[in-house]
Homo-oligomer: A and B are copies of this chain.
C-alpha cells in the first residue's frame, strides 16, 4: 500500500495568491463590469525588453537549422550566460563569484523550494515575519515543521519579526538556527538590509555553521548606493550563503521563466560522518539528476539582459515601476496613510486605516473601489494590519487606483 507525504496535510488553506484569485473571481462573477485594477500579486505588466525578444526570435530560428539546432543543454545553464552573470552581476560589484558557481533555472520559486532537497531533516529553520509564503510552505512539505497554528504560523519554525518597531531589521534570535531565509529588498515590506545588518547575519552563520538563503529577486530596484545588491558583497558570505536571483522582476520574465541560484564552492556543511561536504557538489548532482536545464530560447533571452541595449531597456523598465512606487507612496501619504518601502523595492507596505484587519481592508478595497492588493496577514502574523501594494502596473492604472483609494480612505 502506497503512502503519501503526510506533511502536506499540515498545510493551511491555499497558498496566498490562489486565495486572492478565488475572492477576485467570486467578486467579478457577481460584478462582471467592475473596472478592477490589480496591484496584488507581484506580476509585471510592461512588455518584454526588445533586446530579449530579438535574441529569442533568433534562437527560435536557429532551432530550425541542422547546424544551429540545440538539443539538451547543460543542466547548469549555458556557459555564455553564466559567464555574463558572473562578470556583470557579481565581479563588477567586487564579489568573487565564478561562472561555475551559477546555476541557471526556470524560477526562484522552484529553487528556493528545491534547495531543501540537499539539506537534512533536523535543521532548525528561521524565516522573517512577515515572509514570502513559499519559504514556509516548502519547509512544511519537507517535514521541517510541526503543525500549523491558527495565526498561520507553524510549530518548529523560528519567526524573526521585521516591523516598524525594529525598522524592518531582522535580529539574531535567541534560539540557535541552522537555515536562515533572508529576502532583501524585502517581499512584502519593501525594506532593505544594510551591509552592517547583513554582516551580523554572516558572522552569526559562520560562527554557528548555519546557512543563509539570500533571496535577491528585487535587487534591481535598489536606488540607494550604500545598500548591497548581493550577499556576497559581505565579507565571509561565500562561506555561509546561497543566493537566489531572478529575471522576473528586472526584465519582466514572470511568464518567460528564468532565474539563477549561486552556490559558492567554498560552502561546506558537515555530513553525518563528520566530514565536510561541498554544497555545490550536492546541488550540482541534484540539478543534473532532477532538472534538464532552461530552454535554449529563454537562456538567449536572458543573455540579452546583459547586452548594452538590454541593460538600457531594463533600466527604463525598473525606473518605470519605481516611479509607480513613488506615486503610490506620495498619494497614500498625502491621504494620511502610513506607508513603508517603495523606494528600493517595487512594493509599498501600507498600514491599514481605521484599524481594519488585512483581509477586511482587502475586501473593502475590492468591493468599494475595485482595487486588488495583498493582505499583509497572508505573509505572516506580523503582517496583520498591513497591506502590500505592488507597483507593477501601467501608469494610468496606478494613478487611477490611487485616486480611488485616497477618495475612499482619506484618514
Which of A's residues lie within 8 Å of B, judged by CB?
A: 1-6, 8-9, 11, 14-15, 18, 41, 43-48, 50, 53, 56-57, 60-61, 63-66, 69-73, 106-107, 109-110, 113-114, 117-123, 134, 137-138, 141, 178-179, 208-211, 252, 254-257, 269-273, 277, 279, 282, 285-286, 288-298, 394
Residues of B within 8 A of A56 (CB): 60, 297
Does B71 contact A45, Cβ atoms closer than 8 Å?
yes
* Known A106-B292, A255-B296: A120·B4 in contact at CB below 8 Å: yes
Residues of B within 8 A of A122 (CB): 3
* Known A6-B271, A286-B141: A66·B47 in contact at CB below 8 Å: yes
Q: How far is the CA of A43 from the CA of B69 in the complex (A)?
A: 11
Does B1 contact A270, Cβ atoms closer than 8 Å?
yes
Residues of B within 8 A of A110 (CB): 290-292
Does B71 contact A289, Cβ atoms closer than 8 Å?
no
Does A4 contact B269, Cβ atoms closer than 8 Å?
yes
Does A254 contact B4, Cβ atoms closer than 8 Å?
no
* Known A3-B119, A119-B2: A255·B43 in contact at CB below 8 Å: no
Residues of B within 8 A of A114 (CB): 290
8 pairs, CB–CB < 8 Å, chain A vs chain B: A2-B211, A3-B119, A45-B66, A47-B69, A48-B60, A63-B256, A106-B106, A113-B289
Residue of B nearest to A180 (CB): B2
Distance from A284 Cβ to chain B, minimum over Cβ atoms (Å)? 10
* Known A3-B178, A69-B45: A9·B285 in contact at CB below 8 Å: no
Residues of B within 8 A of A211 (CB): 2
Q: How far is the CA of A134 from the CA of B287 in the complex (A)?
A: 11
Distance from A176 Cβ to chain B, minimum over Cβ atoms (Å)? 8
Residues of B within 8 A of A66 (CB): 45-47, 394
Residues of B within 8 A of A298 (CB): 295, 297-298
* Known A18-B288, A272-B3: A295·B64 in contact at CB below 8 Å: no
A61's contact among B14, B53, B119, B290, by CB below 8 Å, is which? Answer: B53
Residues of B within 8 A of A138 (CB): 289-290
Residues of B within 8 A of A9 (CB): 271, 273, 277
Residue of B nearest to A49 (CB): B64
Distance from A272 Cβ to chain B, minimum over Cβ atoms (Å)? 5
Q: How far is the CA of A4 from the CA of B270 in the complex (A)?
A: 7
Does A2 contact B71, Cβ atoms closer than 8 Å?
no
Query: Given A1-B209, A46-B69, 8 other A-B contacts at CB below 8 A?
Result: A5-B121, A9-B271, A41-B72, A44-B71, A47-B64, A71-B255, A134-B289, A134-B290
Does B1 contact A295, Cβ atoms closer than 8 Å?
no
Distance from A25 Cβ to chain B, minimum over Cβ atoms (Å)? 13
Residues of B within 8 A of A69 (CB): 45-48, 252, 255
Q: How far is the CA of A4 from the CA of B9 in the complex (A)?
A: 25
Does B47 contact A65, Cβ atoms closer than 8 Å?
yes
Does B5 contact A117, Cβ atoms closer than 8 Å?
yes
A107's contact among B210, B257, B282, B292, by CB below 8 Å, is which? Answer: B292
* Known A3-B119, A118-B8, A290-B114: A64·B48 in contact at CB below 8 Å: yes
Does B71 contact A254, Cβ atoms closer than 8 Å?
yes
Distance from A282 Cβ to chain B, minimum over Cβ atoms (Å)? 5
